[in-house]
Structure 1
Amino acid sequence: MKVIGFAGFSGSGKTTLVEQLIPELRLRGLRVSVVKHAHHSFDVDHPGKDTYRHREAGAFEVVAASDKRLMLVREFERPATLSVHHLIAELYAGVDWVLVEGFKDSDLLKVEVWRAPEAGQTAKPVRYPEDDFVVAVATDAPGALTVPTQLPLLDLNAPSAVVDWLVQNEQRFEYNEELYGAGM
């Protein structure tokens, strides 16, 4: 599997870009998984549902599956800090690409997503001068970048071109599970 991260400030367009890359990769016959960093408490299960009731009763894990979908909910007894590598280890091994949104401080190769400021706003700083894992910048305004760079500049508004670049460079993004260790 190939793994690439997408990092940037809130509002930079990371989610929109990842959302647009998925169908572009699928059109090329590739299977895509996404790992998303959530900053806040979230829930995919709802009160009254059997799986919610099982979890509330104290189950450590609840797996629900149909012929169309599988859901795993794991309830930690204590707060847990999971690395992006823990989460990747949970994914199906037969996936072609894993798009990672967030985890900006990870040791994954990543594309920095940077958007020019709106009128009257201050430009957000860029990460690439201090982050050796940034391998390209996806932006809507390459001329407005606050620090010059020799990194590839990808058009934030051209997801098919971003996918072209990913596929042309796919050998760089091959994930080495042995290097990062096992999951949980």
Structure 2
Amino acid sequence: MTPRVFGITGWKNSGKTTLTCKLVEEFTRRGFRVSTLKHAHHAFDVDHEGTDSHRHRQAGAGEVAIVSGRRWALMHELKDGPEPSMQEMLARLSPCDLVLIEGYKRESHPKIEVRRQAALDRAPLPDTDSSLRAIASDHAVDDAEVPVFSLDDVTAIADMIALETGLGETAA
């Protein structure tokens, strides 16, 4: 089963993560199971030098799973392999009602663009594949061809996403 997905995209420091977190809170308050998929453009590490899992990876393990009574994580080293596609990563997630995807601005899934005055780049993102469904902004957007929401109106943004994805108002 392909999960319902909706993206939150925008330039660096536009407020994508803040909006994503607020949407996760809103959808879970409504009773939905929500997962997130975040694309990073840089090297990142979820463990740090000196931890046992870091030592396992440094020793050459291709995958390292960390498990406790509260959570588990699986790290997969790509070495020189290609970055997995968004679809490949979606397939690895456990079943849920909605996946909110942060980043992946060049993919064709439906998405909302976040715009903030304080962002380093305030130019509109190109919408070459007509996947942009709305804009969330902290300033007036006059030339938009899609609905524009206040960046703080999380309820209305969540309502739009629920309608767009066929999710419904609350979990059954």
Structure 1 156/29 Cα, relative in aligned 2: closer, same or farther at 3 Å? same
Instruction: Give % identity.
Output: 37
- Residue correspondence of structure 1 range 30-69 to structure 2 within 5 A: 30-69=32-71
Indicate conservation of the 8 Å contact 1:7/1:102, yes or no.
yes
Alpha-carbon distance in 2 for matches of 1:30, 1:148? 30
* Equivalent position to 1:144, from 141, 144, 150: 141
The CA distance in 2 between the partners of 1:5 and 1:132, in whole Å, is: 13
TM-score by length of 1: 0.81
Amino acid aligned to 2:141: A
Q: Name structure 2 gaps, 5 residues minimum.
A: 168-172
Per the TM alignment, residue 100 of structure 1 is displaced from its structure 2 partner at its CA by 0.7
Report the alpha carbon displacement of residue 70 of structure 1 after superposing the two structures with TM: 1.1
Aligned residues: 165
Contact 2:65/2:72 (CA < 8 Å) preserved in 1? yes
Tell me which residue corresponds to 1:103: 104
The CA RMSD measured in Å over matched residues stands at: 2.1
Q: CA deviation at 1:130?
A: 3.5
Counterparts of 1:35-184 in structure 2, within 5 Å, are: 35-92=37-94, 94-115=95-116, 117=117, 124-127=122-125, 129-141=127-139, 143-145=140-142, 147-149=143-145, 151-171=146-166
Deviations 1:72-123 (A, max 9, x none): 011122042222112111111x2111111111001211111122x35xx997
Moved runs in structure 1, 4+ residues, more than 4 A? none
Aligned with 1:144: secondary structure? coil
Distance 2:56 2:31 in 1: 37
Q: What's the CA shift string for 1:1-37, capped at 9, x where partnerless?
A: 2100111111211111001111111101111111111
Structure 1: runs of 5+ lacking an equivalent: 173-184
State the alpha-carbon separation in 1 of the partners of residues 109 and 164 from structure 2: 15
TM-score by length of 2: 0.86
Distance 1:63 1:88, change over 3 A: same
The offset of 1:152, in angstroms, is 1.9
- 1:112·1:128 contact (CA, 8 Å) conserved in 2? no
- Equivalent pair of 2:6/2:165 in contact (CA under 8 Å): no
Correspondence list, 1:12-31, <5 A: 12-31=14-33
What SS does the aligned partner of 2:99 have? strand
